[in-house]
């Protein structure tokens, strides 16, 4: 790959689609700031003391307008930042341009190839000779994964001289990861271990990334402390739920302009993301059918008047299919063959393995007609009917629209800032071991509180007497840890 | 104005943005056809007999993908067609390109100036020496207006030698209309009267255009028969209501990406359009406040849990303002000055006089910052805060998104096709006088019936005994004329 | 039948369940008055001038608390009133008691036999030697029917000496009507004709009664003017829709306590009543399936995300069945046999012929188990499973609960008062022929306006300029006659 | 108090309102069983092995039809049962009669005085000379409280000879508790300690009772193991949420018949109960305002389009007030004085201290007018306007209606049965210490699974490969402990 890093006049590195879109990006950044009261409050509260002075932060997180406000909050608090997207389609090029020009090193554009994607991730982690970042802001865990795989390979190589073998895996993307590491090993056989040494910790944004972290914690392979931001209530019960309720129909409309009312929609998975998607589709006038493995979530769907069936029951009847499971192999090519002409198939889960894109691409005689970028019609030879796949099976709300709106991302990202501050503050205290942590409830409540004023809300105050009666402090936190909201 | 008509290789005239987008347009047309069962059923039922053979049809109606399917339905039934948009922002350029290349003479592009707009309207009416069209498909009544004003001017000119004086009006757009007519008079002083002679009738699409027609009928100035398609149940209770429920949030999201949940939204007017808008905003999690003049509509809003107040009551508290009244002077610059920073102001009514754009533009010291086309921030000098105006106060769903989705437009346009067929069939029978007519209920029910299969619905059939009991024919129509649905 | 009319100390006739419930009735009447601003405004506006002075009004309309407020509004305006219920289960006995004691002659109790029902109707029409009432307030048209059938029989008898023959009909209820008329003929062979002579007109409340009137108008058999109150917008689009949205779940809950969430509910008919029922069930968490004969209403259901199928498709799958058609023979005993154990079957349409109660009662070996009054379980011998039928197939919201709430009935009944005032005012003017009329729109808007203040609403006022622009008077009416709301 | 225990012919003790209602109760029990698949599955699974053989179970839980199915499930599994209600208004007398006659010792009737209430509680705990129960099923914790207070008093008495002094507290109800204990001490100074000795544990049903248990655990005063059933997902996220969504409007309608549409409703507290109440009111057409202390819950309300204000902001504007906080002193008499005429005030939280009934009763000159049992109008002398208080400030859904419907209670009560089985099985194993436990997730999922079939749902099955990918067993549990649903 012959990608070249470019430099701003001030010497900061970047690689974006078109730096001339920076002005447009700045205008939208200005609008977004008004919608992100939590981040702006962080700037006001922490900006003066520059708590991130000296900290290098690498982010791997959709390079959108909202993320741009996050990045500029980190820099406003003193950090130096390098950034890449965590999805090949999720970058908003004008956002990347504005940040590249004004604030941080950015390596991201909409429509990266997988090779380019991992090149960008490498660049974001590459802080030059002095090792890697102090902190990582991760979404889905790809930056974390690269370091862990790198360290593993270096240790093996040191012991046995064995290099990673891309041919050892079927997974096309993991082949690229192994190639990168292999090639890097030749130049610097301790690069990832140096990174690991320097790293204070990671804060992880999403369900899928968190799942990976807990697996590593369970296996004892986690190399540095991690804060699970996803499971802050003000993240998972807001971003995942209300964000998707907003951005799923947005993506459907921008990609297909199809009328949702009157259609039959299948939502695979009824977690927070699935709940948001199902609510949006139902409210838009679709008849929604849920597929679930978990009887509790299934019963919740039923209580909302949704039908719970298996994909097989409805595959030939439904008009719209959305995967939200965080699992793999949900909609296979055999399902797709049975669908109605022009059925829409899309995924809003983090990874692109919910829909069997490989099976589709390899289906004998299948024809792909690109209506417009991220909207493809795939025609089966037997029936000459086709299905419409959005964003090549990747996150459709970021691929086909602009992701979640600013206000709800302000909740998520305020958690990120708080998590990063916490990791950095405690970098030498030993408070955080190589484990996964969630933020304490009083910080969660604080994030929420920062977002009430913008919406004109007024909180009731507990009297001391009332607080004692329910055994909580007057100023909170107000709920036990196990409370589900 | 030095616009030049272009010609296809086959010699058909057109003027569009970029003919090379025709392939893209065709792909989306293919998708839309699957979503427009009513129009496709018309092709199947009437295509073989070519009922429009010899008919010239001029259309003035948003040149979108859906309209393209309408146009190709008219041509499939034998008509020759010329077309323009009825709004400067509503054209989808790829749709215009596909039609221009493949099917009809099109004069339309997204972002016309007002001069260009009326030039396009003239072109669509200009069938060469043999006079004008046989039939008009109108939306908002601009094609009808131009002929009526033209005839009026020609008659005055013949009698008195007096030419229309553009300076006689304040209205910038009407000045253009008068200029066009004045300039035309010099070359052909009976052009519009010849048009009138040939014209069999018009079918009008929207509430606002229908209002104009009834006013002309009341004044005795209507020059040819008109069919009011808007008041087919399958138009006004579907397109106006469910179309806007879909396209209002679509426009808001594409223009601003703002989170609707948690916001305070004001919907001015609670007719069919207002009901659709309010439903969409409420379902997306906004708190909706309605303004109304009509106590019945106001009481309907209350029954749905919406607050009914005046604009003055809420102007400084709300985040989103939508006008749907069909009236004028709804949101004035004095209201806009009092709004919150970045309040969104938009109109989804047919004409652009609901929002006081003139007052805004002329406000001393106001600054307009174009975020992107059709999304402007206007900053007031006193407060240095701004409001965001969509589509320059024009139809925001067509200016900022792609208008209503295909399925609901199939209902509306099937009514158009049926109305055009009826006018043409009865052109010599004297059945239609210079009045405004609605389609009979059995055709309205037929339009609905054509759309049920696509959504998997199964109708119940009346027994003869049951039909007699409720005094209707077994095959319908099932309701009295005054039934409100 | 040996029913005896009783008399209050003041000499007014009555027959109610228990006069001692009058105090309880009065307390609820006091509450209801606060919820019925339209009726209270009528008292304030018209009470002083006593417009009904000298008028005798007979009412045949569910004798509920709300009706009691209507009756006392009529008496407050100077009328003398006699009343019966129009359904054997719809009387609230404490309401009847309060009215009987304090205000008018009442003949009504909850749980009348059909014989008793018609005896009550006769009593309400029986104003002694001087003939019948001047005005009728009718709901369903039974009082009107009795007079029309009576006149018909008297005329035949006079001509041919032939008496009505109850054996000439299968319909058990109509046998009773004929018996009453036959027996009456012997004592006074011109009783109903004298009534007809005196009668100024009727105002009719409900869809079903209105249908009868239009049939008589079409046949030329209507004997006196009728005002169709049902088709006032403030009646049919409020009482029918929002009233049922409230009272359907109320009836279900009181009768069965069954959880609605998660259930499959079938609503037969998607007119105003069906729309209200479907909305209520959907909101309570049921999955709702609609059956329809009318493709337009069916398409509306689909746009709201409801499935449209035939009863046969879903009869063995659904948990709750509600008929709202105004037609007959909707759910037959053969359907009921196929239903799930404890499926709930009920009717909210005016007449009790939507559900095949006769077929059920006559089913060989069927067993009826009365859980409590108006809640019966019918067990089929083949399966030993049963269905639960509410209110014996009659109006379940009045049979099992208390009907529609006061506020929405205030809209309906204010229309009634206005209609009665209009008929009485024009009694000698010849304005009203023997036809069916609706109230003019400005009165409809007035009814709505009277109900806004109670809900805290503020109307926007049109400027003269705006009113001219849309061609309406500043003070309304604001909509053309054909407007559908 | 001179209450007498009665005995059935078989010698079982009871005290109910009217044993002759047993047949009616049995009919409703039969219906309820069909709606309670979880309990019926327990009978099928565990009945044959009689796991509760020899176990004495005391229950203090609303003696409704649903509870009757629970009791008969316990007896079907071999238990001997004694029961009382946990609220003076919540008993359904026909349910109590059926159980008293057929299955267990019941001491409960609708409309107990507080003295009678605690007498009933004593009776339910009184198993005669052999000490108390083996197990307690508690709701709100009153049975548990009585034992804890009893033990405390006995220990003090033994040490110091000091008797409990009812005069030591202002709380009228606690005075009764102390009186009972004091009087009991004289006859048997170790009665409660003997109970404690025998007791294996308690399973607690509701948020409020659980809060008490955690406080005792924290203080180290908990005398026996407790299973927190409330925090099973299949309890708190179903019963609390969907149960209240059903029963709040049911209570409002039965008590007041007031139209909810168009009204302004205030819901104090937006926990699970508040969420259910707010959803019900919004769906019925009310405009809902929430009061909250917790910023996270407040932000959730905003995302659903609800306004968040303080009670003071809206007290004079709202029509309906519902408390759901689990805290005390929410609506004080000073608030009530400012309310609109006939504002409805009610509580759906467990205890009756959310509404300041004492302040209201003692307000100088206030007049109480009982419309009907559990519906009182309180008139203030200054304004002569009144408010309507439901169920004397106690649980309005049980006081004014019949509580939650069977299906959702089947979820809760299946958790109860499972908890009781677990405590009993492990009675000698030492598995449970004097702490509060929740049921393991796989049992929670099992409860949900038992309720899917009744609603026609079909679960998707994980493949082994998929299960491994998300690191869960194929057969569940599927979520981490901290998952919020």
Q: Using 50, 70 and 90 to split pLDDT, how confident is the model at B117?
A: very high
Which among C261, C299, C307 is the nearest to A287, CB-wise? C307
The pLDDT assigned to A232 comes to 97
Q: Quick one: A389 and A421 in the same domain?
A: no
pLDDT digits (tens, 9 = 90+) for D8-44: 999 999 999 999 999 999 999 999 999 999 999 999 9
CA distances from A476 to C21, D101, D296 (A): 53, 50, 11
CA angle C422, C428, C430 (to 5 degrees): 85
Asked if B347 and B274 touch (Cβ cutoff 8 Å), the reply is: no
Question: Nearest CA to CA, how far is A271 from chain C (Å)?
Answer: 18
CA distances from B262 to A246, A260, A370, A457, B283 (A): 12, 23, 37, 10, 11
Region B48-68: what's the mean pLDDT?
98
Q: Is the pLDDT of residue A131 over 90?
A: no
Neighboring chains of B (3 or more beta-carbon pairs < 8 A): A, C, D
Region D215-236: what's the mean pLDDT?
97
- Is D316 tagged catalytic? no
| Residue C355, helix vs strand vs coil | strand
Q: Quick one: A363 and A310 in the same domain?
A: yes
Residue C417 resides in a domain: yes
pLDDT digits (tens, 9 = 90+) for D98-145: 999 999 999 999 999 999 999 999 999 999 987 899 999 999 999 999
Catalytic residue, candidates C239, C250, C356, C444? C239
Which among C61, C47, C106 has a CA at the least distance from the CA of C81?
C106
Region D375-398: what's the mean pLDDT?
97
- Is D244 tagged catalytic? yes
Q: If you measure CA to CA, which chain D residue comes closest to C25?
A: D371
- Is C246 tagged catalytic? no
Which value, to the nearest 10 degrees, does the dihedral of the CA atoms of residues A295, A296, A297, A303 take? Answer: 100
Asked if B443 and B433 touch (Cβ cutoff 8 Å), the reply is: no
Q: Is the pLDDT of residue A306 over 70?
A: yes
Residue C439 resides in a domain: yes
Within a 10 A sphere around the Cβ of A437, how many other Cβ atoms? Answer: 18
Task: Find the range with the poorest average confidence among A445-449, C410-414, D348-352, D427-431.
Answer: D348-352
Neighboring chains of A (3 or more beta-carbon pairs < 8 A): B, C, D
Q: Do B299 and C448 touch (CB under 8 A)?
A: yes
Residue C196 token pair: 């007809």
Region C433-439: what's the mean pLDDT?
97
CA distance B390 to B375: 5
CA distance B117 to B89: 10
Residue D268 resides in a domain: yes
Q: Quick one: B16 and B147 in the same domain?
A: yes
Backbone angles phi, psi at B268, to 5 degrees: -90, 110
Question: Is D328 touching C (CB cutoff 8 A)?
Answer: no
Question: Is B303 touching D (CB cutoff 8 A)?
Answer: yes
Catalytic residue, candidates C90, C203, C247, C406? C90
- Is A148 tagged catalytic? no
Residue D374 resides in a domain: yes
Question: Nearest CA to CA, how far is D398 from chain B (Å)?
Answer: 27
Asked if B222 and B136 touch (Cβ cutoff 8 Å), the reply is: no
The pLDDT assigned to D59 comes to 98
Question: Nearest CA to CA, how far is D368 from chain A (Å)?
Answer: 28
- Is C461 tagged catalytic? no
Q: Do A24 and B253 touch (CB under 8 A)?
A: no
Calculate what percentage of chain B has a pLDDT beyond 90: 98
Query: What total of structural domains would you count in chain C?
Result: 2
Q: Quick one: B267 and B195 in the same domain?
A: no
Residue C452 resides in a domain: no
Q: Quick one: A179 and A33 in the same domain?
A: yes
The pLDDT assigned to B2 comes to 72
Which among B262, B263, B407 is the nearest to A262, CB-wise? B407
pLDDT digits (tens, 9 = 90+) for B171-229: 999 999 999 999 999 999 999 999 999 999 999 999 999 999 999 999 999 999 999 99
Q: Is the pLDDT of residue D347 over 70?
A: yes
Which strand (E) or helix (H) includes residue A33? helix A22-35
Edge-to-edge strands, sheet with D264-268: D307-308, D287-291, D264-268, D320-323, D343-347, D386-390, D375-379, D367-372
- Is A412 tagged catalytic? yes
Q: Quick one: A282 and A217 in the same domain?
A: no
The pLDDT assigned to B1 comes to 60
pLDDT digits (tens, 9 = 90+) for C275-315: 999 999 999 999 999 999 999 999 999 999 999 999 999 99
What are the beta bridge partners of residue B388?
B344, B377
Which among C332, C352, C347, C348 has a CA at the least distance from the CA of C172?
C352
Residue D454: Cβ-neighbour burial (10 angstroms; 0-12, 13-18, 19+): buried
* ipTM for the whole complex: 0.97
Asked if D98 and D81 touch (Cβ cutoff 8 Å), the reply is: no
- Is D230 tagged catalytic? yes
CA distances from C404 to B314, C247, C276, D72 (A): 33, 6, 12, 38
Question: Nearest CA to CA, how far is D180 from chain B (Å)?
Answer: 50
Backbone angles phi, psi at C318, to 5 degrees: -85, 160
Which among C231, C238, C310 is the nearest to B482, CB-wise? C231
Strands B226-228 and B320-323, sheet pairing: unpaired
Neighboring chains of C (3 or more beta-carbon pairs < 8 A): A, B, D
Region C10-28: what's the mean pLDDT?
97
Q: Is the previous residue joined to D430 through a cis bond, with omega within 30 degrees of 0?
A: no
Q: Do C284 and D31 touch (CB under 8 A)?
A: no
Q: Quick one: A340 and A365 in the same domain?
A: yes
Q: Quick one: D55 and D165 in the same domain?
A: yes
- Is C239 tagged catalytic? yes
Which value, to the nearest 10 degrees, does the dihedral of the CA atoms of residues C182, C188, C190, C193 take? Answer: -80
Q: How far is CA D147 from the centre of its chain?
A: 18
pLDDT digits (tens, 9 = 90+) for C27-74: 999 999 999 999 999 999 999 999 999 999 999 999 999 999 999 999
The residue range of the domain holding C384 is: 259-349+352-393
Please say which residue of D393, D422, D455 terminates a domain. Answer: D393
Q: Quick one: D377 and D417 in the same domain?
A: no
Region C209-222: what's the mean pLDDT?
96
Contacts 24+ apart (CB under 8 A), D451-456: D451/A299, D451/D37, D451/D38, D451/D407, D451/D410, D451/D411, D452/A295, D452/A298, D452/A299, D452/A302, D452/A308, D453/D37, D454/D35, D454/D37, D454/D407, D455/A299, D455/A302, D455/A308, D455/C262, D455/C263, D456/A307, D456/C264, D456/C317
**C340: CATH:** 3.40.50.720
Q: Using 50, 70 and 90 to split pLDDT, how confident is the model at C131?
A: confident
The pLDDT assigned to D131 comes to 85
Question: Is D450 touching C (CB cutoff 8 A)?
Answer: no
Q: Is the pLDDT of residue C1 over 70?
A: no
Q: Quick one: A301 and A427 in the same domain?
A: no
The pLDDT assigned to A212 comes to 94
Within a 10 A sphere around the Cβ of A355, how many other Cβ atoms? Answer: 29
> What DSSP character marks residue D293?
S
**How would DSSP label each residue in A99-147?**
HHHHTSEEE--TT--HHHHHHHHHHHH---TT-S-SEEEESSSHHHHHH
pLDDT digits (tens, 9 = 90+) for C448-465: 999 999 999 999 999 999
Which value, to the nearest 10 degrees, does the dihedral of the CA atoms of residues B98, B100, B106, B107 take? Answer: 90
Strands D287-291 and C287-291, sheet pairing: unpaired
Q: Using 50, 70 and 90 to split pLDDT, how confident is the model at A447?
A: very high
Residue A461 token pair: 């105050």
C349 annotated as ligand-binding: yes
Q: Quick one: A414 and A340 in the same domain?
A: no
Question: Looking at chain A from residue 232 to 261, which residues have their Cβ under 8 Å from any Cβ of chain C?
Answer: 261
Residue B252 resides in a domain: no
Residue D473 resides in a domain: no
C352 annotated as ligand-binding: no
Q: Quick one: B116 and B141 in the same domain?
A: yes
D348 annotated as ligand-binding: yes
Q: Do D295 and A211 touch (CB under 8 A)?
A: no
- Is B94 tagged catalytic? no
CA angle C181, C185, C189 (to 5 degrees): 130
Q: Using 50, 70 and 90 to split pLDDT, how confident is the model at D1?
A: low
D365 annotated as ligand-binding: no
Region D196-212: what's the mean pLDDT?
95
**D94: CATH:** 3.40.50.1480
Q: Is the pLDDT of residue A1 over 70?
A: no
The pLDDT assigned to C2 comes to 72
Q: Using 50, 70 and 90 to split pLDDT, how confident is the model at B129?
A: confident
**How would DSSP label each residue in A377-442?**
EEE-TTT--EEEEEGGGSBHHHHTS--S-HHHHHHHHHHHHHHHHHHHHTTTT----SSEE---HH
- Is C384 tagged catalytic? no
Which among C342, C371, C402 is the nearest to D257, CB-wise? C402
CA distance A255 to A243: 18
The pLDDT assigned to A130 comes to 78
CA angle D195, D199, D203 (to 5 degrees): 125
Which strand (E) or helix (H) includes residue D390? strand D386-390
What are the beta bridge partners of residue C209?
none
**Best interface-test mutation with D: which of A217, A296, A323, A479 has the largest number of D CBs within 10 A?**
A296
Question: Is A152 touching C (CB cutoff 8 A)?
Answer: no
Question: Is A304 touching C (CB cutoff 8 A)?
Answer: yes
pLDDT digits (tens, 9 = 90+) for A42-98: 999 999 999 999 999 999 999 999 999 999 999 999 999 999 999 999 999 999 999
Which value, to the nearest 10 degrees, does the dihedral of the CA atoms of residues A222, A223, A229, A231 take? Answer: 10
pLDDT digits (tens, 9 = 90+) for D311-322: 999 999 999 999
Residue A207 resides in a domain: yes
Q: Is the pLDDT of residue C329 over 70?
A: yes
Q: Is the pLDDT of residue B336 over 80?
A: yes
Q: Is the previous residue joined to A477 through a cis bond, with omega within 30 degrees of 0?
A: yes
Within a 10 A sphere around the Cβ of D481, how many other Cβ atoms? Answer: 9
Q: How far is CA B439 from the centre of its chain?
A: 18
Which among D296, D91, C89 has a CA at the least distance from the CA of A484?
D296
Give chain D's mean pLDDT.
Answer: 97
pLDDT digits (tens, 9 = 90+) for C335-363: 999 999 999 999 999 889 999 999 999 99
């Amino acid at each position: 790959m012959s990608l070249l890093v470019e430099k701003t006049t001030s010497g900061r590195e970047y690689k974006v689609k078109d730096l001339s879109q920076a002005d447009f990006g700045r205008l939208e950044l200005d609008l977004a700031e008004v919608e992100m009261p939590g981040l702006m409050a962080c700037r006001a509260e922490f900006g003066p003391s520059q708590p991130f002075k000296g900290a290098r932060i690498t982010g791997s997180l959709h390079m959108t307008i909202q993320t741009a406000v996050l990045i500029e909050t980190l820099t406003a608090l003193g950090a130096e930042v390098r950034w890449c997207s965590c999805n090949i389609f999720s970058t908003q090029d004008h956002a990347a341009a504005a940040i590249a020009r004004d604030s941080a090193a950015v390596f991201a554009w909409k429509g990266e190839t997988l090779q380019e994607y991992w090149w960008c991730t490498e660049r974001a982690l590459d802080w030059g000779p002095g090792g890697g970042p102090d902190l990582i802001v991760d979404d889905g865990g790809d930056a974390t994964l690269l370091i862990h795989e790198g360290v593993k390979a270096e240790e093996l190589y040191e012991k046995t001289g064995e290099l990673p073998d891309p041919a050892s895996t079927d997974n096309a993307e993991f082949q690229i990861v192994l190639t990168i590491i292999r090639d890097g090993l030749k130049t610097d056989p301790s690069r990832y271990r140096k990174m690991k040494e320097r790293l204070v910790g990671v804060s992880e944004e999403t369900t899928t990334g968190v799942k990976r972290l807990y697996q590593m914690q369970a296996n004892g392979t986690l190399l540095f402390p991690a804060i699970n931001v996803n499971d802050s209530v003000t993240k998972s019960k807001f971003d995942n739920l209300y964000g998707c309720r907003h951005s799923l129909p947005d993506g459907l409309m921008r990609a297909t302009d199809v009328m949702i009312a009157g259609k039959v929609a299948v939502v695979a998975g009824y977690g927070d993301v699935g709940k948001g998607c199902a609510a949006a589709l139902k409210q838009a006038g679709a008849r929604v059918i849920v597929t679930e493995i978990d009887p509790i979530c299934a019963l919740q769907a039923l209580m909302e008047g949704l039908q719970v069936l298996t994909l097989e029951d409805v595959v030939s009847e439904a008009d719209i299919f959305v995967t939200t499971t965080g699992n793999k192999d949900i909609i296979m090519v055999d399902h797709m063959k049975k669908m109605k002409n022009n059925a829409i198939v899309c995924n809003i889960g983090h990874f692109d393995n919910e829909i069997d894109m490989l099976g589709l691409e390899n289906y004998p005689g299948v024809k792909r007609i690109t209506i417009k970028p991220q909207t493809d019609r795939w025609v089966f030879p037997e029936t000459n009917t086709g299905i419409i796949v959005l964003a090549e099976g990747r996150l459709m709300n970021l691929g086909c629209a602009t992701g979640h709106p600013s206000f709800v991302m302000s909740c998520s990202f305020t958690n990120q800032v708080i998590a990063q501050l916490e990791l950095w503050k405690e970098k030498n205290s030993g408070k955080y071991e190589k484990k996964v942590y969630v933020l304490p409830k009083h910080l969660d409540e604080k994030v929420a509180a920062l977002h009430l004023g913008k919406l004109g809300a007024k909180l009731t105050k507990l009297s001391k007497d009332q607080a004692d009666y329910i055994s909580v402090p007057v100023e909170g936190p107000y709920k036990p840890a196990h409370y589900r909201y």
